[in-house]
Amino acid sequence: MAIKNKKLNLKDKYQYLTRDMAWEPTYQKKEDIYPDEQFEGIKITDWSQWEDPFRLTMDAYWKYQAEKEKKLYAIFDAFAQNNGHQNITDARYVNALKLFLSGVSPLEYAAFQGYARVGRQFSGAGARVACQLQAIDELRHSQTQQHAMSHYNKHFNGLHDAAHQHDRIWFLSVPKSFFDDARSAGPFEFLTAISFSFEYVLTNLLFVPFMSGAAYNGDMATVTFGFSAQSDEARHMTLGLEVIKFILEQHEDNVPIIQRWIDKWFWRGFRLLSLVGMMMDYMLPNKVMSWAEAWEVYYEQNGGALFKDLERYGIRPPKYQDVANAAKNHVSHQAWGTFYQYSQATNFHTWMPEEEEMTWLSEKYPETFDKYYRARFEHWDKEQKEGRRFYNNTLPQLCQVCQIPVIFTEKDDPSVFSHRQIKHEGERYHFCSDGCCDIFKNEPEKYIQAWLPVHQIYQGNCGGADVATVVEKYYHINLGVDNMEYHGSPDHQRWLDIKGLKPLQSNSEKKTAA
């Protein structure tokens, strides 16, 4: 190519560095070079219609990201040198970081792998480059998150082995299987799942709570990561919307396929976000907003406008959206109750809300908290204070699809579990909802292989037959040090020392240190 001017404008540079890097193959067939592009049934008639609103090219990417990361790491250094961990609101907050580090950062890595793969699989050069750049973003995010939080590992327990734990701990199979499901799908489903349903529709419900939560709780390292990642996330969201519009505009046969994927990935994302809901309502000492409020703003309002916009393509809002909207007043309480009673097998501490937090919950959830959840929480609080901290001594039934225990209740009767069961080729399968049951029925071969942690423990594949052995040897959790009740834990004691407060003395508190 002949370069006329020394300095190219953005449009030319984008053309040269993306589209012009591609060529029409002559001695190999296109479908042999891009073997995964056809089988999902998505029809692309003209890849040149792909629009990349950011027109980002590799040279600009390196320069811009390098500058951003230099600033980011300067702040991490300052945070560490100034013992930034001492300025957080309360050590209970660190448990939100443990959840993030073991539940979310590995997903960034999984996203990197996913985008690297699909960035090879599209025959359109614009889509390939966009996916490759996002792959690098995801890898950077995984790394920078770990670096942002590594300072806490020097001062608090439970942050020492997040990647190992992501592959093994029972509840981490929820985020892990979510991404495994997406990554083992075809490239177009992957983009619908991750770029559209997750990054575009639901990402605000993941990032805003964690990053605002960090800001509200004095965690400058994580806040700075959040700011640094913001420009990347904006790009990912824009890409997510462009992807879906591009596919829908290419061929009308794509509409029903995309609709089924939107239904599936909305539901899977909604279930996954239960973990974020409980983090917001229960793990942040200084609360940003309630989960229900976040759901109203980021899903009901923003998502409502989005699906109105997509109507002209023949796309309707996701199936079971009404169930998800009603569940906003329940899921955080149900999830926290679950982690509280299985805290002997989590990689973080749990606790019952203090009186003023209970009042906050009653105010934020006037229809549900006092009616359905307060009684059990007050009972557990009393038991703990009397030295009988409640732990569930059996294992829970898991949903075959989302892998969350069957903890959710019926939309029309929150006092009844929404359990579903079917028989498929002679085997029984159990689900948490119609949403998950439908996903199974659409692709049973995929989900009959699910690695369900409870069943794996019972099959003897997790290092031992008792909880203590599984937790310590297989999960790499220091039982009673990294997890269980927060009050009286080593983290709690250390926090009291940092703040110059008197260590706890009462017998009941001591006993709970296990």
Contacts of 206 (CB under 8 A, 6+ apart): 104, 273, 276
Are 218 and 89 contacting, i.e. CB atoms less than 8 angstroms apart?
yes
Q: Which stretch binds another protein (CB under 8 A): 150-158, 165-173, 269-277, 415-423?
A: 415-423
For residue 444, state whether it binds another protein (rule: CB under 8 A).
Answer: yes
Tell which one of 231, 250, 362, 392 touches another protein (CB under 8 A): 392
Rounded least distance, CB 362 to another protein, Å: 14
For residue 468, state whether it binds another protein (rule: CB under 8 A).
Answer: no
For residue 265, state whether it binds another protein (rule: CB under 8 A).
Answer: no
Tell which one of 9, 28, 48, 393 touches another protein (CB under 8 A): 393
For residue 428, state whether it binds another protein (rule: CB under 8 A).
Answer: yes
Site map (CB under 8 A) of another protein, residues 318-337, x = contact: ----------------x--x
Contacts of 483 (CB under 8 A, 6+ apart): 158, 343, 344, 345, 346, 347, 348, 349, 471, 477
What phi, psi does 328 have (nearest 5°)?
-60, -25
C-beta closer to another protein: residue 126 or 337: 337
d(CA 317, CA 315): 7
For residue 390, state whether it binds another protein (rule: CB under 8 A).
Answer: yes
C-beta closer to another protein: residue 396 or 490: 396
The token pair at 92 is 């209970």
d(CA 22, CA 254): 25
Rounded least distance, CB 50 to another protein, Å: 23
Size of the site for another protein (CB under 8 A): 58
Rounded least distance, CB 92 to another protein, Å: 21
C-beta closer to another protein: residue 191 or 398: 398
The DSSP secondary structure of 467-485, one letter per residue, reads: HHHIIIIIS---TTTTSEE
Tell which one of 406, 436, 470, 471 touches another protein (CB under 8 A): 406
CB atoms within 10 A of CB 499: 10
Q: Which stretch binds another protein (CB under 8 A): 6-14, 43-51, 125-133, 452-460?
A: 452-460
Contacts of 111 (CB under 8 A, 6+ apart): 134, 135, 138, 179, 194
Rounded least distance, CB 459 to another protein, Å: 5
Q: Which of 115, 103, 97 is nearest to 232 (CA)?
A: 115
Strand duo 349-350 + 484-485: pairing? parallel
Q: Which of 119, 134, 129 is nearest to 203 (CA)?
A: 134
For residue 449, state whether it binds another protein (rule: CB under 8 A).
Answer: yes
State the residue for tokens 């390292």. 221
SS3 421: strand
For residue 442, state whether it binds another protein (rule: CB under 8 A).
Answer: yes
C-beta closer to another protein: residue 207 or 373: 373
Tell which one of 186, 285, 463, 464 touches another protein (CB under 8 A): 186
For residue 450, state whether it binds another protein (rule: CB under 8 A).
Answer: yes
Q: Is 63 exposed, middle or buried (0-12, 13-18, 19+ CB in 10 A)?
A: exposed
Tell which one of 9, 45, 48, 394 touches another protein (CB under 8 A): 394
For residue 471, state whether it binds another protein (rule: CB under 8 A).
Answer: no
Contacts of 59 (CB under 8 A, 6+ apart): 13, 17
State the DSSP H helix or E strand holding residue 178, giving kind and residue range, or none if neither: helix 173-183
Q: Which stretch binds another protein (CB under 8 A): 2-10, 222-230, 285-293, 368-376?
A: 368-376
Q: Which stretch binds another protein (CB under 8 A): 111-119, 216-224, 228-236, 456-464?
A: 456-464
d(CA 44, CA 251): 7
Rounded least distance, CB 458 to another protein, Å: 5
Tell which one of 68, 117, 430, 476 touches another protein (CB under 8 A): 430
SS3 254: helix
d(CA 215, CA 495): 19
Residue numbers 15-74 binding another protein by CB under 8 A = 35-36, 39-41
Q: What residue type is assigned to position 142 of the chain? A: S
Residues that bind another protein (CB under 8 A): 35-36, 39-41, 186, 334, 337-338, 341-342, 371-376, 379-380, 390-398, 405-407, 409, 415-417, 419, 421, 425, 427-430, 441-446, 448-452, 454-455, 458-460
